[in-house]
Structure 1
């Protein structure tokens, strides 16, 4: 199964931290929805999913709403503490998430957030590609991707694509193979 990590980053390399005062760029949100529809799924961490629930109505039985960009997708939440969320599959490990999606017939899995989830998949070398939507902002506070938190790791990647998404947002796509 091909696993793609998707993240919105700032121009200075941090995870973009959205808030009501600094909402995510619409172009990045539209791109994420397009990537999720293309994969037919996404894997998300519990805290990130909780933040998504209010704005997109992805759970609580509203997954099929006409205005929901994630209607009909297989959503997998990775959590050690929560065992059940209505409308989504909850698993405890990256391997369980990938096995569930593969059993459902998916050939691609999209990792959507947050930093802990991304770093867990990266540390276990379960990511084949990364898509970074770079927002034209600098943020002094933010989280970073860590390939291996215990050892220094240097990894060459191959640029697959680079394209503007609008409003200064640029997408970079890399292969980690």
Structure 2
């Protein structure tokens, strides 16, 4: 199964933290919905899912026919989504459902877990036109600070100052 990690970064390279003072750009949200529809699914952390739900999504609309998989050690059941305990369980579930691609969509912990385990084939970074003083980083190896070379597949403007970078990762 092909795994694609989708994230929004700030112009200074931090993992973008959205909130009332810095809402996500419409162009990034529309792009996420497009990728989720194409994959037919997305994997998300519980806290990020709850944040999305609190802001009016995910729910009916663009995610009505999409398999949403929430990775959580705490939640046992969330109506309308599948809850799993691990990254491997999330991928196994989507494979059993017949998906060819898994979209990893949210939460720095989820992203870092997939990256740290070497489970990502491709990354899509939407770079938002904002500088963030304090942010989180995407990490491939917390202990050894190793490098992982990637191959640029595409680079395009999405509008609103958002630029998308798409890279392949050799696993």
Fold agreement, TM-score > 0.5? yes
Name 2:112's counterpart in structure 1. 119
**Deviation by residue 1:26-69 (Cα, 9 ceiling, x = unmatched):** 000000000000000000000000001122343xxxx4x3xx21
Name 1:18's counterpart in structure 2. 18
Where in structure 2 are the equivalents of 1:58-73 lying within 5 Å? 58=58, 63=59, 65=60, 68-73=61-66
Q: Does 1:167 align with 2:148?
A: no
Distance across 2 between alignment mates of 1:57 and 1:134: 22
Alignment partner of 1:6: what SS?
strand
Report how many residues are paired. Answer: 170
Correspondent of 1:106 among 85, 99, 102? 99
Q: Does 1:157 align with 2:150?
A: yes
Name 2:138's counterpart in structure 1. 145
Distance across 2 between alignment mates of 1:103 and 1:147: 27
**Deviation by residue 1:150-177 (Cα, 9 ceiling, x = unmatched):** 2121111000000000011000000002
Q: CA RMSD in A?
A: 0.9
Alignment partner of 1:56: what SS?
coil
Name 1:84's counterpart in structure 2. 77
Alpha-carbon distance, 1:121 to partner: 0.5
Q: TM-score, normalised by structure 1?
A: 0.94
